[in-house]
């Protein structure tokens, strides 16, 4: 497997970076461009920017902040939120994004995955999955950026990731909602189940609180590990994290 990736996640609302706990009670975490530059300098492998209310509000991403970010960083970054059409995806890529992450719009219209993969390549298409446990199984929620709009999609997580990758999604970001923002560790059994179900890279998300949590995700087979709170609040430094993981025999980009 290629070197594992450390991926800070930046939730965006009204052009600012915010952070919540289990998708609620968001607080301001700084200017979007300043945060992008900070993570570039600290050695992040990639960045993900989620406009958390775009899908629920039925609007497209703000291309201005994508352009501003693309001008100042030289590491890959994905954008997410409200990408509902092929042309909206094209506009984001033309503004400087490297990947398109789609979640609720893909649940609404799964053919969107095929359209994006056909025109831009599967490597550009990331499926975001907000997964919650119920009755001993896992299911997908949508519109998670807005507590008032959040709802069950009616889709079982493993069924959805298999369908989405068959349609052309080239990567899965699995966000385990129960663990989001609480720093108790990734949901390793669920992450491993998704890894075993699909043939594309899987990014673990939701719950990172210590270097051991990242190691557990990588040992389970995750291609990357996404986190927000521990990086935004400087509880874990990315260079030190990479050194510790490398000392455990996990290949990291230096």
What is 112-128 written as a DSSP string? HHHHHHHHH-GGGEEEE
Tokens of residue 116, six digits: 């994006």
What is 204-231 written as a DSSP string? EES---SHHHHHHHHHTT-SEEEESHHH
Residue 51 known to be catalytic: no
Of 11, 51, 62, 180, which is the active-site residue? 11
- Please indicate whether residue 26 or residue 184 has the higher confidence score (pLDDT): 184
pTM (two decimals): 0.90
> H/E element holding 141?
strand 137-142
Portion of the chain with pLDDT greater than 90, in percent: 69
Which pLDDT score is estimated for 225? 98
Model confidence pLDDT, tens digit, residues 17-53: 876 554 454 556 578 899 999 999 999 999 999 887 7
Which pLDDT score is estimated for 160? 98
Mean pLDDT of the chain, nearest integer = 90
> H/E element holding 14?
none
Residue 130 known to be catalytic: yes
Which pLDDT score is estimated for 29? 58
Of 45, 62, 130, 180, which is the active-site residue? 130
């Amino acid at each position: 497997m290629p070197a594992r990736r450390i991926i800070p996640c930046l939730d965006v609302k009204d052009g600012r970076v915010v952070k919540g706990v289990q998708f609620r009670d968001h607080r301001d975490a700084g200017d979007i461009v300043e945060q992008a530059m900070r993570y570039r300098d600290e050695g992040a492998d990639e960045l993900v920017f989620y406009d958390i209310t775009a899908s629920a509000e039925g609007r497209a991403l703000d291309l201005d902040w994508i352009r501003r970010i693309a001008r100042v960083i030289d590491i890959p970054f994905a954008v997410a939120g409200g990408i509902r059409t092929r042309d909206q995806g094209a506009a984001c890529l033309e503004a400087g994004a490297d990947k398109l992450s789609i979640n609720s719009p893909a649940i609404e219209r799964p053919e969107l995955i095929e359209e994006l993969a056909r025109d831009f390549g599967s490597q550009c298409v990331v499926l975001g999955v907000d997964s919650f446990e119920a009755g001993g199984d896992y299911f997908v929620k949508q519109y998670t950026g807005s507590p008032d709009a959040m709802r069950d999609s009616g889709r079982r997580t493993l069924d959805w990731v298999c369908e989405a990758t068959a349609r052309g999604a080239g990567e899965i970001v699995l966000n385990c909602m129960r663990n989001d923002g609480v720093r108790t560790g990734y949901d390793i059994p669920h992450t491993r189940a998704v890894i075993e179900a699909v043939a594309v890279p899987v990014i673990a998300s939701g719950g990172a609180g210590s270097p051991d949590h990242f190691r557990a995700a990588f040992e389970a087979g995750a291609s990357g590990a996404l986190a927000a709170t521990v990086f935004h609040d400087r509880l874990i430094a990315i260079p030190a994290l990479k050194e510790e993981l490398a000392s455990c025999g996990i290949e990291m980009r230096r």
